[in-house]
Amino acid sequence: MTTWSDVTRFVHTNYTAESINDATIKLVFDTGNLRSQLVFVEHTWNDTGADWVKVNSPIGTIVEVDVRRAIEIVGGMLVGGIMSDGEYVYVTNAMPLRNLDANEITEPLVRVTTIADSIEAELLGKDTV
C-alpha cells in the first residue's frame, strides 16, 4: 500500500519541490522557450474517505482564461480536467493513492504540466502563473 509519505518522499527525491504544508507540494517546471509551469501535488480524500493524490497546475485567473475554450481543449485529452478555486483556473488530475506506482505519479504530473502550459500559451499568450 502506498502512503502520502511515500509520495512526498518520491516527489522530493526526483524533483525540486517545496512542501507548502502536510498535504501540498509545490513544484515549478521549466517548460522551454523561457516558460515555466507551477504545479501542486495534493493529498486529498474522496467522499468515502479513501486517500487520493491530486495534481493541479494553474493556467491563469478566472477573469483571464476563456474557461469554455480550456474545457474544449482538455476534452480531447486523455488526462486532465479543468477546475477553479474561485480565483484561478487549473488543469487537474486525480488518482487513488492505494497501490500507486512511481509511473502513476510521474505520467500524470508530466501530462498535467504540459497540458496546462500549452493551454496557458494558447489562450493567454504569456507565462502568467
The pTM (predicted TM-score) of the whole model is 0.91
Question: Which pLDDT score, from 0 to 100, does residue 70 have?
Answer: 95
Q: Where do the domains of the chain lie, and which CATH numbers do they carry?
A: 4-124 (3.30.1460.10)
Look at residues 62, 85, 74 and name the one whose alpha carbon lies nearest to residue 122.
74
Q: Which DSSP symbol is given to 63?
A: T
Q: How far apart are CA 58 and CA 77, in angstroms?
A: 17
Query: pLDDT tens digits for 74-111?
Result: 998 888 899 999 899 999 999 999 989 888 899 999 99
CB 114 within 8 A of CB 104: no
Q: Which triple of cell numbers denotes residue 18?
A: 517545496
Cell 515555466 found at? 36
Helix, strand, or coil (residue 49): coil
Q: Which triple of cell numbers denotes residue 107?
A: 505520467
Question: Which pLDDT score, from 0 to 100, does residue 32 have?
Answer: 83
Helix, strand, or coil (residue 33): coil
Residues of the chain with pLDDT under 50: none
Question: Which pLDDT score, from 0 to 100, does residue 129 have?
Answer: 63
